Structure 1
Amino acid sequence: MTATETPPVMSTRTAAVAVGLLFITNGALIGGVGGALPALRERLEVSASGLSLLLFCLAASAVISMQIGGRLADRIGARPVALCTLTLLAVGVGLLALTSSLPWAIVAMVLAGLGNGAMDVAMNSLGVEVEQARPKPIMSRFHAFWSLGNLTAAGTIVLIARIFDRTGGANVGPALGTLCTAGLISIAVCFRIVPVGRKIEHKLDGVRTAIPRLAWALGLMAFCFGLAEGTAVDWSSVHVTDVAKIDPSTGALGLVAVSGFMVIIRLLGDQAVARVGRRAVVRVGAVTAIAGYLVTVFTQPLPLLLVGWALVGLGVGLVAPQVYAVAGHVGDGRMLAIVVTFGYAAFLVGPAIIGQLVEHFGVQHAMVLPLVLSGCLVAVSGVLPRDD
């Protein structure tokens, strides 16, 4: 495998800020979709199956986009892929803000998925490149920015929905429109400061190299944490709304708890990796997520539910940055694309599966699936290096 490096065009610090901006913008736009789901359910007059259909459309288009985006990122560099797909994601969220019918909501979800899938691969590829140029880990902080974007989106949903609809109803259009506008502004800034990514040819002496076997073990881990994290992002607000029997905009506090504590732990994650290694960090995170999901399955009062989702946020927040970082360091963009595909396929398809479980068994019993997969993370974590 060979990599064609372009001359550096900015400092490592500026590059880190630029990539962080990509993460926070992506997190805000995706978080806006997740936080708006309870209100969209009312506006579109659909059941849990209807929400599952929307999430499936988001997932399917994202998985397709990841495969195309991963190859393009290696061929032309991750920068143009990230910028173009961020634009597509923002347009999808903007259309979702305007629609009041299920067919147009499906179109909006497809556009958002096409943008989000390739952008996930591209921004993580850029993040690994920045980390490789630094003496200390930084991937956890990048994912903290993503969670901060999620948190900002959830707060925006709660505040603007209450401003425009004092009853706490289904008017989330202004909030999603605000997030879309912020995303478009971010694109203009990113265009000027996002670093030029390297181009990679997966060949050695003219022969195409094989994908390292570690990719598939990391992919399994990514599927487990992807479903656990995706459930938290997309269903925490619905779970809190239905179990605690509160209005939809207040139910978005579930996502606030998840995202807020993910931000906190990811800001501390790089220091933890430097001290005890990625394997120990992942195991602690998985056990914490198990504790959180146990609370969501067996309790009903709002304060306890928020504690449960906070523990889930703390736990899953530790896992993803470490698995993606190992993939990027070991196998560069191609391997990272595979692992990201597993993770985000689960992140997006998983909540749709949860929707079917909610339909048949109820929202609390549906949380058993991410609980079990969090346990699987502990078992598979032995493939990770003890330190980095």
Structure 2
Amino acid sequence: MATRTAAAAVFLLFAVNGALIGGVGGVLPALRERLDVSASGLSLLLFCLAASAVVSMQVGGRLADRIGARPVALVTLSLLALGVGLLSLATSLPLAIVAMVLAGLGNGAMDVAMNSLGVEVEQARPKPIMSRFHAFWSLGNLTAAATIVLIARLLDRSGGDNVGPALGTLFCFGVVGILVAVRIVPVGRRIEHHENGVRSAIPKLAWALGLMAFCFGLAEGTAVDWSSVHVTDVARIDPSTGALGLVAVSAFMVIIRLLGDQAVARVGRRAVVRVGSVTAIAGYLFTVFAEPLPLLLVGWALVGLGVGLVAPQVYAVAGHVGGGRMLAIVVTFGYAAFLIGPAIIGQLAEHFGIQNAMILPLALSACLVAVSVVLPRDE
């Protein structure tokens, strides 16, 4: 597990997952037009993605402990890619719902499995590496956003339907990722949760970390799934240009996550989480009050910088303290919020406007600052 190949395999899993999920978020404005649905229709699709992912996490977490994370990661990556491929062909809401359910079933368990493998790699190393793993997830997001913008430009469409070509391209990327992953993803350890024949209790810290995961999950999920729509609607521009919102989020998440491990080594996870939370607050203030495109992109860039620091630290603490079972609980809270939260944002946008809807992730980013007291100072 302590080899460069093991680390490279985990980098690959995070990157492919980020690209496929980022692709779904990036095409939402164009998908809205193709399916002729409102914000409520988008929130229904995101809810289907979320609900299936939450179910998948519970099953995937138990399987990863029982048989190792490798088979769980490979099977669910295939399922996620299948869902994205089907979504590229969907021209009706029912078919899009089926595609979202498949993608959610794949994404939920894959998230637990790849984070479990990431914690194992970090435990075998002298220095932190979880932030860099998550940087590759953000790099995958950035690749998806750039692909969507580039294809729209190549097709010379201003607000046209680029769903099929964009998601089809990312589906092919996912297939290549699967073929490589089969060769290099490590087996992973099996985890026993019994002591002297008695099942051990889940550490109480899991629930505090779960609350933190819910807060940053909703803030990050909003950024990934709604930044493009937000920029499109507030700045009144075409959907392909609006995808620059996701580009800003993803690019700055990559930058800060590549530097995050160094920051953790110097000042500890608690300080890193607090700085990230305050930065996200500043970014969401821009999304609530600003309207010009440049200011909106500054706001989403700050959100990317902020939330990019938080998730790797919370997941790493969970994995180190309580192993895969505790990590699965915390990841469930995080991804439930990451996936269900944007659906909630859709309802808020429908009734109160998309800028006012951003007050919710703003408030939860502030909550992160308070709850971060539970994190160890020096880890």
TM superposition score category, shorter chain reference: over 0.9
**1:260-279 equivalence runs, <5 A:** 260-279=251-270
1:184 is matched with 175
**1:146-225 equivalence runs, <5 A:** 146-225=137-216
Q: Which residue, out of 241, 252, 270, partners 1:250?
A: 241
Give the gaps of 5 or more residues in structure 2. Answer: none
Distance 1:253 1:167 in 2: 14
Distance 2:282 2:190 in 1: 42
- Cα deviations by residue, 1:266-317 (Å, 9 ceiling, x for unpaired): 0000000000000000000000000000011001000000000000000000
Q: Which residue, out of 86, 89, 103, partners 1:98?
A: 89
Distance 2:362 2:321 in 1: 29
> Do residues 125 (structure 1) and 94 (structure 2) align?
no
DSSP-derived class of the 2:191 partner: strand
Structure 1 position 12, deviation (Å): 1.8
1:4 is matched with none
Q: Which residue, out of 35, 41, 63, partners 1:44?
A: 35
2:100 is matched with 109
1:323 is matched with 314
Q: Which residue, out of 290, 300, 315, partners 1:299?
A: 290
Structure 1 position 161, deviation (Å): 2.1
Distance 1:203 1:90 in 2: 36
Structure 1 position 165, deviation (Å): 4.3
> Do residues 55 (structure 1) and 46 (structure 2) align?
yes
Structure 1 position 164, deviation (Å): 2.5
- Cα deviations by residue, 1:14-71 (Å, 9 ceiling, x for unpaired): 1101100000000000000000000000000000000000000000000000000000
Does the aligned pair in 2 maintain the 1:148–1:259 contact within 8 Å? yes
Does the aligned pair in 2 maintain the 1:81–1:122 contact within 8 Å? yes
2:250 is matched with 259
**1:335-374 equivalence runs, <5 A:** 335-374=326-365
Distance 1:171 1:37 in 2: 10
1:26 is matched with 17
Does the aligned pair in 1 maintain the 2:63–2:69 contact within 8 Å? yes
Q: What residue identity is the alignment partner of 1:166?
A: R
2:132 is matched with 141
Does the aligned pair in 2 maintain the 1:12–1:134 contact within 8 Å? no
Structure 1 position 170, deviation (Å): 2.0
Does the aligned pair in 2 maintain the 1:165–1:171 contact within 8 Å? no
The CA RMSD measured in Å over matched residues stands at 0.7
Does the aligned pair in 1 maintain the 2:82–2:103 contact within 8 Å? yes
Q: What residue identity is the alignment partner of 2:107?
A: N
DSSP-derived class of the 2:364 partner: helix
DSSP-derived class of the 1:195 partner: coil
Distance 2:11 2:280 in 1: 25
Count of aligned pairs: 379
DSSP-derived class of the 2:126 partner: coil
Distance 1:97 1:360 in 2: 29
TM-score normalised over the length of structure 2: 0.99
- Overall identity of the aligned pairs, in %: 86
Does the aligned pair in 1 maintain the 2:158–2:239 contact within 8 Å? no
Q: What residue identity is the alignment partner of 1:75?
A: R
